[in-house]
Amino acid sequence: MKLRYILLFILLTTTLTSNACDICGCANSGSYYGLLPQSNKSLIGVRYQRLNFVTHPNSQVLRTEENFNIAELYARFFPIKRVQVMAFLPYRIDQQVTTAEVKKQNGFGDATVLANYNVLNTLMDKENSGAFTHTLLVGGGIKLPIGKFKFDENNPLHVANANFQLGTGSVDFILNAFYTINKGDWGLATNVSRKFNTTNSQDYKFGNQWFGTMDLYRSFTIGAISLTPSVGIYAENAAHGTQHGEVLDLTGGKLLNGTAGVTLFSKNWTLGVNAQKPIAQKSASGHVVTKERFLVQLGFLF
């Protein structure tokens, strides 16, 4: 009898504390775009990301590991001069490992479409050319709820965690800006984005987010190929989420990652590899720990 009550207590505790942060590998997480050619060529490619998280790392009972494997088809094209459109469609293979079981899910995630206007481009505007070259794009976009969002906190067969879903179940809106400055073989690429989330059909709303990147890089020419190593930072800041109008305390958080990578450019293709390691973080009041991240992407220019 005593064992039954102990098991019941563990189950209830796990359910109550499983609403993890909004900074995670789910469809609400921020985007890392990596280095892309700043030419006016269109691009289509694929990329793969792996993200890992540990919830309640110091508990032998509540410890949970979540692994997110994301294969993504992405494209960039220029329908008219100075207007850049980017689109992303991910396919996700996710796994959650607890002390009692392993849960898996796979399927398409939420699609994102961005449109940016080239406000400044000294490569195009020859009269403004000089020792430094600048590119500034500003715009925004929309995230469409393609991925499945369905969970029941009281159903033991479901993952009682809003973050461990293929999508957010909501139509979300994004504002962003990309700025790049170059001098000779050196360059600095920055991106900042603001994401506004709406409430989904299950009356759940992920917290709004800021996320951004800054990468310092240098290019080396090897024959017809440009080799570009880079170092930088990636940051996220997510507000608390809400459910049925009530603020969820164990959501939201801050994350700062150091990044390092290398990208190869040629006339017709680009190949990049990037790794991230957390520098500082506080997610879900410290209950969620972000581990290292990895990304590889291949694109074809036309």
CB 137 within 8 Å of CB 177: yes
Average pLDDT over residues 174-179: 95
Whole domain around residue 70: which residue ranges?
2-301
pLDDT tens-digit readout, 239-274: 999 999 899 888 888 999 999 999 999 989 999 999
- Whether 257 and 296 have beta carbons less than 8 Å apart is answered as no
- DSSP assignment letter at 164: S
> Which residues have a Cβ under 8 Å from the Cβ of 276 and sit 6 or more positions away?
32, 234, 257, 258, 259, 292, 293, 294, 295
pTM of the model: 0.84
Neighbours of 104 (CB within 10 A): 11
Instruction: Please write the tens of the pLDDT for every residue from 16-39.
Output: 333 444 555 555 565 667 777 656
- Closest by alpha carbon to 53, among 72, 69, 32? 69
Residue 129 has pLDDT above 90, yes or no: no
Q: Output the domain CATH number for residue 47.
A: 2.40.128.130
Distance CA 27, CA 263 (A): 26
Radius of gyration, CA atoms only, the chain: 21
CA distances from 167 to 14, 107, 143, 210 (A): 23, 10, 10, 19
Q: How many domains does the chain have?
A: 1
Q: Are 52 and 67 in contact (CB under 8 A)?
A: yes
Segment among 124-128, 137-141, 166-170, 182-186 with least mean pLDDT: 124-128
